[in-house]
Structure 1
Amino acid sequence: MRSVKEMIREQSLWAGLNRPGIERDEADIVVFGIPYDGGVSFRSGAKEGPRAIREITYTIAPTTERWEDLSSLQIMDLGDLEGSNRQELFQQAEEAAFSIVKSGKLLTMIGGDHSTTIPVMRGINRAVDEPFGIIHIDAHFDLCHEMGGDYFSHGSTERRALELENVPDTESIFFVGIRSVESEELAFIQENRMNIIGAMDVRQNGIDQTLKTIKTKMSRFKKIYMTIDIDSLDPAYAPGTGTPQFGGLNSRELLNLLYGLFDLPIIGFDVVEVSPKLDDSLITAFAARKILTECWGHHHRKKEKIQENTN
């Protein structure tokens, strides 16, 4: 039985927006963590990401940078999934994603390395009865068929997505912030029609033009999943990640992009690759926390606008 202190602490999670014990249909957002980093090709530590991010949410206010009050938001945190091996853990993740999307709640997953997005997208694929789009915000394409013999590596995330029934073609994915490519990936993108806006393009074209391009291309989808690798940010803003790449998005660019992208029918998103042990200052975890809470604010704002127009 939980102590009073533990119950108060649990309720204080996510700026006091966590609602322990509520039913799924009462929630606005359902969040869970996948503490796994066995799919990395370089430095580990992302399995500690979910814990580190949660630990810095107890004292923040339920507000956004646009002066919005989120106190009415209902968050259901399922905690971190547990499994004795990757297969077991990923099966739980797939089932969690399936049930959340089926319930119509905003899915939020906290990784873990980027391989943890694979079972989430598999769950979404099972839950929807139509094609869905993917917005992949990252320094890397993650289009390798395998890395080091691992077909479920963090560098194979979107290659596995392209195998899903409801991801019909390569243009179903929009890559944003890219600035690194493997030789195998280079051959793949040269042979296929791809949607790509690199970090350099975002800076040169500006946020408004970037958003216009993404929205135009992704407007064919009624459901879109967004995966955010923290290394999409330049290492100056997020040093605690396994494979940082110089020349990335700055914090303002990413936040403004996310604000505009929620005009699209986002059914869920994740934040992955936060490795606390590589960043003693926790700058990276604070960045992830900001991304999560601002995205929830965007979802909340859109939901309230829909309700106003309905009444």
Structure 2
Amino acid sequence: MGAPFDTGVTARPGARFGPGGIRQGSRRIAADAAWDIYTGENVFLDWAKIVDCGDAPLTFLDNTVALKQLDAAHKIASGRSTSTRKYPTPRIVTLGGDHTTTLSALRSTYRNWGQVSVIHFDSHIDTWDPKVLGGGISHYAGVNHGTFLHLAHEEGLIRNTSIHAGIRAPVMRPKGDVRNDIRCGFDMVKARDIDRIGVSGITGKLKRRVAGSRVYISVDIDVLDPAFAPATGTAEVGGWTTRELLSILDGLRGLEVIGADVVEVAPIYDNPGETTLLAAAEVVHSLLGLIVHNPVNSG
């Protein structure tokens, strides 16, 4: 489901066009020719029925109204009956939109499954206190793509067994932001950790952190280095390659993934080769695989 929303950004806008851009990047992924060279599986021809619900109809003129509309869209989509009695509740992969949209997705997963552990791929922590990021100007200003995880914690949507992956951006308060991040239930894997412990070390740490819980995976495309994903609102140098990210995602097989998203794709900043759009579409492909092949579904 698309979430065309980008009025919660603190840098470059444009992610409202992300859902269409990701779909455009997926044109080369044909359902009858998408056999994974590594696993020999085709997620589109497995047991699950995968449906594109289109974009949620959101206003661009009022953040508070738009997020209520997105809450409603998630409630409607997740309230549909599936054709599989064993798994009656649809599992949604959201195409963003800026990262604020994940708050609506987490509200939806909480309503259907209770608290979840979040694996948050990003260059930024996104647990900033709204009083710090938003300036305390208004409640409206405090709900944004850098505070949504703080708000999710305050609303009781997520477990204290969540974790960031790929973090490298500076914080605003050297001690206070990290303390608040821990209070919000997050551990952290930094981008350069991959140089020391490798892909398997990263996946091992992520899986140990969320073990025994239902998992929501949120991928901000800026977890990738701008060389691999220039089309994003708040790019940070020193990130992972597309191959590294895909390998890490593949390494998360075995988790009970009940929802996911790919956000902060702003097509206007991409190059003619559609580098970011292709990467984002492939990440969505990987996330679908995690959902379809998780142990609850395969059992």
TM-score computed with the length of structure 2 as normaliser: 0.83
Equivalent residues of 1:137, 1:227 under 8 A apart? yes
Q: Are the counterparts in 2 of residues 98 and 124 from structure 1 also a CA contact under 8 Å?
A: no
Q: What amino acid maps onto 1:91 in structure 2?
A: K
Q: Which amino acid aligns with 2:22?
A: I
Identify if the C-alpha distance between structure 1 residues 298 and 266 changes in structure 2 by more than 3 Å, giving closer, same or farther: closer
Matched residues in 2 for 1:185 and 1:121: separation? 28
> Using the alignment, how far apart are the partners of 1:185 and 1:114 within structure 2?
23
What amino acid does structure 2 have at the position aligned with 1:256? Answer: S
Instruction: Tell me which amino acid in the other structure corresponds to 1:249.
Output: W
1:241 CA displacement:
0.6
3-state SS of paired residue (2:192)? helix
Matches within 5 A, 1:35-54: 35-54=4-23
1:104-136 deviations in whole A, cap 9, x for unaligned?
A: 32210010111111111122222224x311111
Q: How big is the shift at 1:297?
A: 2.6
Secondary structure (helix, strand or coil) at the match of 2:166 reads strand
Aligned length: 272
CA pair 190-34 structure 1, distance change in 2 beyond 3 A: same
For 1:76, the equivalent position in structure 2 comes to 51
Aligned to 2:286: 294
- In percent, how many aligned pairs have the same letter? 31
CA RMSD of aligned residues (A): 2.2
Note the residue ranges of structure 2 that are not aligned, 5 or more in a row: 80-87
For residue 268 of structure 1, give the secondary structure of its aligned residue in structure 2.
strand
Residues 1:174 and 1:266: Cα distance change in structure 2 (over 3 Å): same
Give the match for residue 208 of structure 2: 216
Judge conservation of contact 2:3–2:56 (CA < 8 Å) in 1: yes
In the aligned structure 2, how far is the partner of 1:132 from the partner of 1:70?
A: 24
- CA shift at 1:96, angstroms? 3.6
Describe the SS at the equivalent of 1:121. helix
- The counterpart of 2:267, out of the listed 270, 276, 280, is 276
Matches within 5 A, 1:1-311: 32-62=1-31, 63=34, 64-66=36-38, 67-72=40-45, 73-84=48-59, 85-98=62-75, 100=77, 103-129=88-114, 131-146=115-130, 147-148=133-134, 149=137, 150-168=141-159, 171-184=160-173, 186-190=175-179, 192=182, 194-221=186-213, 223-281=214-272, 282-302=274-294, 306-307=298-299
Unaligned runs of at least 5 residues, structure 1:
1-31
Give the alignment's TM-score, normalised by structure 1: 0.80
Give the letter aligned to residue 92 of structure 1.
Answer: Q
Q: Does the aligned pair in 2 maintain the 1:70–1:300 contact within 8 Å?
A: yes
Higher RCO, 1 vs 2 (CA within 8 Å, ≥6 residues apart): 2
